[in-house]
Each structure stands twice: as C-alpha cells, then as structure tokens.
Chains A and B, each alone.
Chain A
C-alpha cells in the first residue's frame, strides 16, 4: 500500500501546475507529460482542466494521443478534471467534430453544459466516501448528461453527476486542484494503489 508511485500530469495546456502542486502536497512524485516517452513507467495519469479543443489538437500534433489512448485501454489509472473529463468521455456533445475522444469512460458529456464564465460557480458538494462537504469550483464546466451501467456516481448536484468512477478511471466536472483540500486526489491515489495490488496478482 505504501509503494512509491509516479503520477503523470498531461501538460499540453491548462491547469497542470495546480495538479502537480496537489500531488506534491500529498508527497507524491509527479511528471509532466508532453511526449509519448513521458508515459513510460507511470502508475497513473491526470488529465487537467483547460480547453479540450486545444489539448485535442496538441495530442494529435505531438503524436501523444495514440500512445495515451493505448495506455488508458491497457488500464492505466486516469483522473480527468473538467476538460480532462471531456477527453475521457465516450461521447461529447457541443465539441468540435474533429475533437479527440479517448473513450476511457462510459459517460456522455456536454461541453460548457453549465454555461459561459458568468455562470461559473463555487459550491459545497457531498462526496459519498467523505464525511464532510468538499468545496468545488465549476469553471465553464461540462455536464455529465448520462452514464453507463458500470459507472458509479460519487457526487452530484441536483440530478447531474459531478464526480464519477468506473474501474480505474475517475472524472470530475469541477476542479479539486484549485483548492487546498486533498481528499479528491486521495481518492485517485487509492484507485492507483488498488490497480497496483491487482496487477501484481
């Protein structure tokens, strides 16, 4: 359980530094991922918030998209926040037709589902495994419109899931990296540890 882990943070565009900071706060070693070779030896990867169309372009231009998609389908634990969640989704509404879907999670998301920046908000949410509320920032956030039967909802606002898990994948429409509360990142770490335990047999 205390094995050292190395977590990659996709660093093409967006709030990747904030994720690195949270991992550092947790004493976890991290690596910025800009190139296929950066995927080697990772125990998990975070896809940050930012603009999903920009990241999609850069995934294609750098050739990283194919390698990343392969690693995710091989079961590399992944945590996507906001734009990162959009890229993980099986289907995307309101995106660009040429936008990459890594198809890592059985969810259907609508880009900018909560509206433009003037509709961006912060709110306390209840997360099922946590005993006190988590303060969540939603920035031009995507809405999870529907989920597959293997997807577990860990938190929602009204009828809309905002934190979901499926096997070794975790996705949030909010930004846990922008607050000092580390508990959502800890959930991802526990997923990484589970995956290491099962893969060692």
Chain B
C-alpha cells in the first residue's frame, strides 16, 4: 500500500496505522474538560479522548448522546501536547467530517454514543484522520477493518467499571485468531463465511497470526490490575473511560494505571502501584444494566 513518491502523501492507510502503532503500550483516557486532560497528560496518558460526558454519566442521564461541542474539543486540544481523540456516532459521517475539520488525531466511531445509522458504519477510507472502532468478536473487527479502521478496541461494556465484557471480547477475538492460525486453506472459506468477513483478511490472519491493525482493550477497566489483565490477555494498549475521573483520586489512579500497563508482567510493581489509591468507581453488574452498548454496531 506504500506509494513510491518524492512528494509527501498524507492520510494513507500506513500513515493512519502508524499513529496506532505509536499508541501501543499506553493508556488513552476519557476526559471532559481541559483540566482533566492536563491531569491525564501529567499522569502519562499517551492520548486523551475528548467527550462531553463519561460513559457512566451517559448511562445515568439517558437521552441521545452525540459528538461533543467543537469548543470543548478545541479547549482540550489546546491544553495538551499528546494526541486528542474524539467520538462520532456509529454511521454519522458528518460528525466525523466535523471532527476531521477540527484536526483531532483519531476518531472513535463509538457505540457509547447513540447510533445514527442502524445498518451502515462510516466509510472510513474517505477520511485522512484515522479511525478506531469497537468490536465484540473477530467478525466485527474484520468488518470494521474492511471499512478502513486503523485500530480496533474491544467494546467491553463502557461506564460499568466491570471488566468482564472486555475480557469476553478480547478472548473471543484472540481465540478465533489462534484457531484460524491452525486452520487449513480450505477451512478459511468457512471461517470467512461464519465471521461474515472478507476472505482476504481471514487469509492474512492465517498467514501472520495477528489482526492486520493493533488491538486495544476498552470498556469497564477501573483498576491497575484491570489494565494489566487486558495486557496479559493480549491487548496492546488500554482505554480507560469512567474508571479514572469517577474514582476518588483521579491523578493517582491515572498514574498507577499507566505504570501497570507498562509493567503488566511484574506483579511486584502491580502490587506497589495498586496501593493507596482510594476507592475506584463503584461499578455495576451486567444484570443490573438495561442498555448494553456493546450490542450497538453490526
């Protein structure tokens, strides 16, 4: 896909994917104000996600959740030097056009916002800004990649402080990748059919043993141990939403989650950074919620 040219080419797939590569081994934090963005950057976040309300509040408030006010996104962009992401509704390509015009570094086509289209995701190839999309299983991940996503994250269940769904999604995606790795060439056709995914991407996974773009974990992470769990399961970075700014001591918790993500295999460091953080967000069980965001998107 790389072109040979002496003139600079912007917005190509390798350039989009390149930023996803740079975010590996890091923590991307949800922030709703410039002040929170500064706290996140101070704590070592590798990027921030600018949004109007964290998922826990969207869940509590109900109503339609939309793209954030451009003024608020500009405020956050001005407050930090690290990449700034922002969310567009599933299928809402005009919100995405606006976010690209605002110069955000990554667009999250997110199930946390209320979907704008019940059949179509955004054609992400039409944009120079890279996209991240959520997935609950490998088929969903590959459909998003075929639409041009440069980064995949588990959906998990945002705003719950409960990591169980993120673990389910990671295990499902990575488990199927392993199985495809041991499938023979004839079986790959069946895999493509079952996953409702392009055969070429299934064949690529069989060859390389991994997703064609980085795989991060999101949805319900609240503690340093949650972040390390996601990393040990095979995620390459973590998103933390409500988990930081809905806790007792956001600055300390944010820093601890950053350190846990780097040193995810070192239980001694994990024990040290987990101590004395105050209360995490309360969290809710899956049987207590009436709207599963992970079911949004197709």
Contacts and interface: CB of A to CB of B under 8 A. Distances in A.
Interface in A14-49: 14-18, 34, 49
A196 interface: no
A137 interface: yes
Given A13-B46, A135-B4, A50 B24 contact: yes
B10 A51 contact: no
A138 B4 CA distance: 15
Contacts of B15: 120-122, 137, 139
Interface in B252-272: 255, 258-259, 261-263, 266
A47 to B, nearest CB: 13
B68 interface: no
B25 A57 contact: no
A15 B262 contact: no
Interface stretch (A111-119, A164-172, A185-193): A111-119
A135 B14 CA distance: 11
Given A14-B26, A118-B129, A111 B12 contact: no
- Which of B9, B22, B105 is most buried by chain A, counting CB atoms within 10 A of its CB? B22
Interface stretch (B37-45, B136-144, B154-162, B184-192): B37-45
Given A117-B129, A123-B9, A179-B2, A15 B258 contact: no
B81 A96 contact: yes
A104 interface: no
B43 A15 contact: no
Given A117-B83, A179-B2, A140 B25 contact: no
A187 B80 CA distance: 35
A61 interface: yes
A58 B26 CA distance: 11
Nearest to A99: B81
B100 interface: yes
Contacts of B259: 58, 61-62
Contact of B9 (A16, A96, A112, A121): A121
B24 A94 contact: no
A116 B262 contact: no
Question: Chain B interface mostly helix, strand, loop or mixed?
Answer: loop
Contacts of B63: none
A140 B83 contact: yes
B6 interface: yes
Size class of A's contact patch?
Answer: 35 or more
A118 B103 contact: yes
Contacts of B104: 117
A12 interface: yes
Contacts of A54: 26, 44-46, 82, 258
Interface in B1-54: 2-12, 14-15, 18-19, 21-26, 41, 43-47
B24 A178 contact: no
B44 A15 contact: no
Interface in A51-106: 51, 53-54, 57-58, 61-62, 82-83, 94-96
Contact of B22 (A57, A58, A82, A123): A82
Contact of B263 (A34, A53, A175): A34
B97 interface: no
A46 to B, nearest CB: 14
A117 B46 contact: no
Contacts of B9: 121-123
A11 interface: yes
- Which of B4, B100, B106 is most buried by chain A, counting CB atoms within 10 A of its CB? B4
Interface of B: 2-12, 14-15, 18-19, 21-26, 41, 43-47, 81-83, 100, 103-106, 128-130, 255, 258-259, 261-263, 266
30 contacts: A11-B25, A11-B262, A13-B25, A13-B46, A14-B26, A14-B46, A15-B22, A15-B24, A16-B24, A34-B262, A50-B23, A50-B26, A51-B23, A54-B82, A54-B258, A61-B255, A96-B41, A111-B81, A112-B81, A116-B83, A117-B19, A117-B105, A118-B103, A120-B10, A121-B9, A121-B10, A122-B14, A140-B105, A175-B18, A175-B21
